[in-house]
Amino acid sequence: MTLEEIKHLHWRAGFGIQEEVLSNKSFNKKQVIDALFDDSASALALNVDVSYLDGINLSDIKTNPSLAKKLREKNRKKALDINIAWMERMTYSKDTLRERMTLFWANHFVCQDKNPKHILQYNNTLRSHALGDFRTFIKAISKEAAMLKYLNGKQNRKRKPNENFARELMELFTLGEGFYTELDIKESARAFTGYNHNFEGSFVFMKLQHDYGFKTFLNRTGRFNGEDIIDIILENKQCARFISDKIYRYFVNPKPNITHIEAMTEVFYKDYNIEELMRFVFTSDWFYFKENIGAKIKSPIELLVGMTKTVPFKFERKKDVAGIQKLLGQMLLKPPNVAGWKGDKAWIDASTIMIRLRLPSMLLNNAVIPVDEYGAFNERFKSRFFKKNNGKLPFKILPDWDMFLKNFQSVKTIDLADIIIQGKFSKGTKAFLDTLKKASKRDYCVQLMSLPEYQMC
Amino acid sequence: MCAVNVFARISNVLNMERRKFLKNSALASSLLLVPNFVKALETQPLNTLGYKRLVIIQLSGGNDGLNTIIPHNNEIYYNARPRLAITQNIIKLNDDLGFHPSMAPLRALFDNGEMSIINNVGYPNPVRSHFRSMDIWQTASHANEYLQSGWLGRYLDEHGNQPYNAIEIDNQLSLAMKGEHFNGIATNNHNVLYKTSKNPFFKGLSDHFDDKHLSEHNLGYLYRTMIDARSSAKYIYENTKVSLSQQEYPQNAFAKQLKNVAQFINSGLETKVFYTALSGFDTHANQLNTQKRLLTQYSDSISAFVKDLKRNNTFKDTLILTFSEFGRRVKQNAANGTDHGAANNIFVIGKKLKKAGFYNKLASLSDLDDNGDIKYEVDFRAVYKTILNNWMNVSSEGIIMSKHNSLDFI
């Protein structure tokens, strides 16, 4: 594998370059990919202390408004803790592939909740099935407390079915629009009636609310329950194709390639094994084609985690994590709707592009992007900037430049671009970079990260 | 300054003459006969009276139109919603229909003939998915057609020349505002946008930019967006007057959006389209409180916005369109909410309405579609077409792809 290829793999299967890429341990393709899967072999649950909810039950909350209020506040804070713990997990854990898959699935089985215990449980369900069996995965999702709330599954009762989950199950989770009818939605909603959960977040099946009658679904008739419905959906190859298409656009190239997606569909349809599918993608020659390298616009989370991996930094104030995510348009655990973030070009508009380009200097360099050419102007800009902001940066950050210099010891400053940037430079920018002095590795790093090219991976 | 005004006035007169001429002409559909210099004048900045603006308000999530404009004399309504029908304090507008109690601030607009309510707006084969139906409304496509550009974006393709010609008060740009070649700009804080864009490093980048090889793919998109953002940020910052508004607005995010829009309009920005949104209308459960809160926010904010515009004499050149991606089912569900429906009402607010009040009657609640939803009578694209033709004074060709007759509400 070339350096470019190994970077490509790490940006797509993880969140950017790792130390071991720099230390050049093994560039043997099979070994590199095997290591990626070995490191993610088991799922380690994300842990945040939510024990304050232990022993509390629903009637406590209903009868004690001040307790309910206190809990709501505490829940909000905890949700932020989970967000931060998840960010740290993505940045520092060894099982980067599993974390990358978890983030992917979180934007596939999109869900939002207020109860930290249920949020955490849902997040860990995503994590534990991330590379597993898609059939088991989706059945688990259909029984998750957070999902039962988010898509009104718990309100889906024999007497009055609620179609919300049944509709999104097919439209967004398995088949995509156009492969089922409104009648299929109505009938499958009946099959999921009676699904509920208790306060702890465990699945509860309420027999009396379940409709045991005959249902006709995707041209089959039977006394189907929810699991039957999922099994019938998976029999349709369109499901394997729908997931393969989504994985291709996310992991390979936002522009779909029908031939490659069909090949993935064949692999996935056999037994819906997610790990096998991903192995097929990462070992395929086409994954490393030039047109796929640097073709993807980083999501805000990819951008933030990727930066942290190059120049380690920590937010001093918790709320800044949420603030930055919000500014960039992707707050973890708070998707815009059940379709999730659109991604790709939708991340970028006139306002987010400017925030993104300013972000590295804001976070790592006191808001200054070094420019020799405009040295004097830059000083003026700096003093004005600080005057306007009362001498304060909008965020409190501790960047660890010493660690950066240590990690990048073996890399010459002029070669920094080869490590930091994925894909091709635009012509004019190459000329612009030539005008820069590159005297300081740190300055040059900030400059490179402030380029539109750094937004690509 | 005089020159500009005279120029603008000539252009207005010419425009009026041209319109009259086109109306009377047998060749009305053809623009070929319009002398070139008239067209040239049209593209000049018309930063003066008569500059028509459109404000879009998107109620995201699917607003329940039946509990918004309430059929207070309809038994079917009350029977279908035993625990959800509004029974008290309805603001009756005629014998059949009335406002939700939270909409009192809009009563004056209705009475003054400044509001037109169009019932049963939708499209054939309605889609009940939020995202898909919202895309259909934003792109003006058929139910089974996928368009990559929005209707306002395509308007920009034809008639815009700067991103600031269409501003969305949000962090992200909606599909509606994205054209085939041209996008509007999204910002919820134009000062921050300007400060950011001014950085000298980006000046260096822009100065060196060579766009020959960067037309299509993603990196090219990033560069173009950056360069457009810099120039638009500068324009908006330099032309927005801060201290104009003496109007009090309610304290909520939606009101803040409208306050921003009023500031831009009253400053005379060359912005044809403003896009705002209020979300949270997806009331599958416990609808009453949620919708009450949202309709209160909507009505209070709109009322303040219109007052602000009137105070600055810009209301007569502003048209406000409110829509949602679909209505909700006539029958309530078990969770005291409603599921996704189909046709819905929309509101048009403005000074020069041809047909104020109720544009049409509410469709029958006994003749519903197979899902138990209201059938559409007015295609939403006919509404768009009417706005483009009669308000923006442009042809809807190339912007609205499907064929519809214009309506006569403006």
Give percent above pLDDT 70 in chain B: 86
Please give the C-alpha separations between residue A26 and each of A44, A423, B287, in angstroms, as whole numbers. Answer: 26, 22, 59
- Is the pLDDT score of B18 beyond 50? no
Query: Rounded distance, CA A267 to CA A257, Å?
Result: 16
Most confident of A396-405, B243-252, B296-305: B296-305
Answer whether A337 touches B (CB < 8 Å).
yes
Q: CB distance A369–B201 less than 8 Å?
A: yes
Mean pLDDT of A26-45: 92
Identify the residue whose tokens are 């820069």: A436
Distance CA(A281)–CA(A247), nearest Å, equals 9
**Strand A203-205 and strand A195-197: pairing?**
antiparallel
Contact call for B213 and A171, based on CB within 8 A: no
Given a cut of 60, whether residue A46 has pLDDT beyond it is: yes
DSSP helix/strand/coil, A279 = helix
Helix axes A300-310, A350-364, angle to 10 degrees: 20
Interface test with B, best of A172, A351, A362, A446 (most B CBs within 10 A): A351
At residue B27, does pLDDT exceed 50?
no
Q: Quick one: pLDDT band at residue A26, thresholds 50, 70, 90?
A: low
End-to-end Cα, chain B, rounded Å? 32
- Check residue A16 and give left, alpha or beta (phi > 0: left; psi -120 to 50: alpha): left
Among chain A residues, CA nearest to B334: A160
Is pLDDT above 80 for A210? yes
Q: Which of B129, B214, B219 sits opposite A167 (nearest CB)?
A: B129
Name the helix (H) or strand (E) containing A292: none
pLDDT value at position A394?
67
Chain A residue at shortest CA distance from B193: A351
pLDDT at B50: 66
What pLDDT score does A25 carry? 60
pLDDT reported for residue A435: 86
Q: Say if A295 is an interface residue toward chain B (CB within 8 Å).
A: yes
Tell me, what's the pLDDT at B35?
Answer: 34
| Closest B-chain CA to A446 | B201
Question: Cα–Cα–Cα angle for B236, B237, B242, nearest 5°?
Answer: 105
Mean pLDDT of the residues in chain A: 91
Determine contact, residues A86/A46, Cβ cutoff 8 Å.
yes
Under the banding of pLDDT at 50, 70 and 90, the label for residue A158 is very high
State the average pLDDT over residues A23-28: 70
Q: Which pLDDT score is estimated for B196?
A: 75
Query: Among A254, A329, A450, whose Cβ lies nearest the Cβ of B172?
Result: A329
**In this structure, what DSSP letter does residue A204 have?**
E
Nearest to B204 among A178, A432, A456 (CB): A432
* Residues ≥6 apart with Cβ < 8 Å to B58: B134, B174, B275, B276, B277, B278, B322, B323, B324
DSSP string, B222-249: HHHHHHHHHHHHHHHHHH--STT-----
Residue count (chain A): 457
SS3 A303: helix
- Kindly determine whether residue B128 and residue A254, on different chains, have CB atoms separated by under 8 Å: no
Chain B closest CA to A127's CA: distance in Å?
27
* A425 in Cβ contact with A397 (< 8 Å): no
Residues in CB range of A428: below 8 A, 6 or more apart: B205, B208, B209, B210
Comparing CB atoms, the residue among B131, B218, B229 nearest residue A345 is B218
For Cα atoms B136, B344, B81, give the angle at the middle one, nearest 5 degrees.
130
Q: Is the ipTM of this complex over 0.90?
A: no
* pLDDT interval class at B22 (50, 70, 90): very low
Which residues, other chains included, contact B390 with Cβ-Cβ below 8 Å and sequence gap of 6+? Answer: B406, B410
> Best mutation site among A353, A358, A435, A449 for testing chain B: the one with the most B CBs within 10 Å?
A353
Residue B336: closest C-alpha in chain A: A155
Does A394 touch chain B if contact means CB atoms closer than 8 Å? no
Structure tokens at A224: 């189907």
* Banded pLDDT at A115 (limits 50, 70, 90): very high
Task: For residue A410, count other CB atoms closer than 10 A to its CB.
Answer: 9
Q: Say yes or no: A171 contacts chain B, CB-CB below 8 A.
A: yes
Quick check: B49 pLDDT over 70?
no
Which pTM value belongs to this model? 0.76
What values do phi and psi take at A376, rounded to 5?
A: -65, -45
Strands B378-379 and B97-99 turn out to be unpaired
Do residues A131 and A101 make contact, with C-beta atoms less than 8 angstroms apart?
A: yes
Q: Mind giving me the DSSP string for B30-84?
A: --TTS-HHHHHHHTS---STT--EEEEEEEET---GGGTEEETT-HHHHHH-TTT
Q: How far apart are CA A378 and CA B201, in angstroms?
A: 8
Answer whether residue B62 shows pLDDT above 60: yes
Give the closest residue to A451 by CA, choosing from A365, A373, A379, A356: A356
Higher pLDDT, A372 or A139: A139
Q: Do A338 and B130 lie within an 8 Å CB cutoff?
A: yes
What per-residue confidence (pLDDT) applies to B21?
A: 35
What's chain B's length in residues?
410
Query: Would you call B285 and A423 a contact, using CB atoms and an 8 Å cutoff?
Result: no
Answer whether residue B32 shows pLDDT above 50.
no
In angstroms, what CA-CA distances link B320 with B117, B293, B348? 12, 21, 6
Gap between the Cα atoms of A143 and B407, Å rounded: 49
The DSSP symbol for A344 reads: G
Task: Point out the residue among A157, A162, A344 whose CB comes nearest to the CB of B339.
Answer: A162
CA A175/CA A237 separation, integer angstroms = 9
pLDDT class for A240, splitting at 50, 70, 90?
very high
Of all residues in chain A, what percent carry a pLDDT higher than 70? 93
> Is a pLDDT exceeding 60 seen at residue B159?
yes
The pLDDT value recorded for residue B162 is 86
CB of A388 within 8 Å of a chain B CB? The answer is yes
Residues of B in contact with A169 (CB under 8 A): none
Mean residue pLDDT across chain B: 86
Dihedral over Cα of B144, B145, B146, B148: its sign: negative
| CB pair distance less than 8 Å for A350 and B210 | no
Give every CB contact of residue B102 below 8 A, 6+ residues apart in sequence: B292, B295, B296, B299
pLDDT given at position A357: 92
Average pLDDT over residues A172-194: 96
Identify the residue with better confidence: B322 or A338.
B322
- Alpha-carbon distance of B82 to A378, in angstroms, equals 67
Distance CA A437, CA A319 (A): 37
Amino acid at A81: D
- Tell me the C-alpha distance between A115 and A121, whole Å: 10
Q: How high is the pLDDT of residue A24?
A: 61
Token pair in block for residue A333: 């655990």
Strands B318-324, B273-279: pairing is unpaired
Of A160, A295, A427, the CB nearest to B334: A160
List the one residue out of A15, A45, A195 whose CA is nearest residue A123. A45
Per the structure block, which two tokens stand in for A119? 């949020």
Contact B140, B381 (CB under 8 A): yes
Given this model, what pLDDT does residue A392 score? 57
- A291-303 burial string, b = 16+ CB within 10 Å, else e? ebbbbbbbbbbbb
In this complex, do A429 and B209 lie within 8 Å of one another by their Cβ atoms? yes
* Section A379-388 average pLDDT: 51
Cβ <8 Å between A350 and B173: yes
B197: pLDDT confidence band, cut at 50, 70 and 90? confident
Token pair 């909409």 in the structure block, residue: B103
Q: Which of A155, A346, A353 sits opposite B334 (nearest CB)?
A: A155
Closest residue, chain B, to A149 (C-alpha): B285
Q: Which of A160, A348, A377 lies at the smallest CB-CB distance from B221?
A: A348
From first CA to last CA, the distance across chain A in angstroms is: 17
CB B342 within 8 A of CB B375: yes
Q: Which residue out of B144, B181, B212, B219 would a mutagenesis test of the A interface target, given it has the greatest number of A Cβ atoms within 10 Å?
A: B219
**Is a pLDDT exceeding 80 seen at residue B379?**
yes
Q: A-chain residues within 8 Å CB-CB of B326?
A: none
DSSP string, A30-56: HHHHHHHHHHTSSPPPP----GGGTT-
Mean pLDDT of A388-416: 81
Evaluate the CA torsion angle A338, A344, A348, A354 in order and state its sign: positive
Q: In chain A, which among 232-261 make CB contacts under 8 A with chain B?
A: 254
Give the integer Cα–Cα distance in Å for A217 and A192.
Answer: 13
Which of A289-303, A389-403, B272-286 shows the lowest per-residue confidence on average (mean pLDDT)? A389-403
Q: Across the interface, which of A152, A160, A350 has its CB nearest the CB of B186?
A: A350
User: B386 and B410 in contact (C-beta within 8 Å)?
Assistant: yes
Residue of higher predicted confidence among B212 and B288? B288
Contact B226 A354 (CB under 8 A): yes
Residue-level pLDDT at A212: 98
Residue of B nearest to A425 (CA): B219
Picking from B204, B229, B333, the nearest residue to A371 by CB comes out as B204
- Is B185 strand, coil or helix? strand
Lowest mean pLDDT among A89-103, B49-63, B195-209, B341-355: B195-209
Q: Return the minimum-mean-pLDDT range out of A64-78, A80-94, A187-201.
A: A64-78
Q: Say if the Cβ atoms of A428 and B183 lie within 8 Å.
A: no
Residues of chain B contacting residue A388, judged by C-beta atoms under 8 Å apart: 195
pLDDT band at A55 (very low <50, low <70, confident <90, very high): confident
Chain A residues near residue B128 by CB distance under 8 angstroms? 167, 182
**Residue B207: what are its φ and ψ, rounded to 5°?**
-60, -35
Q: What is the pLDDT of residue A374?
A: 44
A35: pLDDT strictly greater than 70: yes
On chain B, the residues whose CB falls within 8 A of the CB of A424 are 219
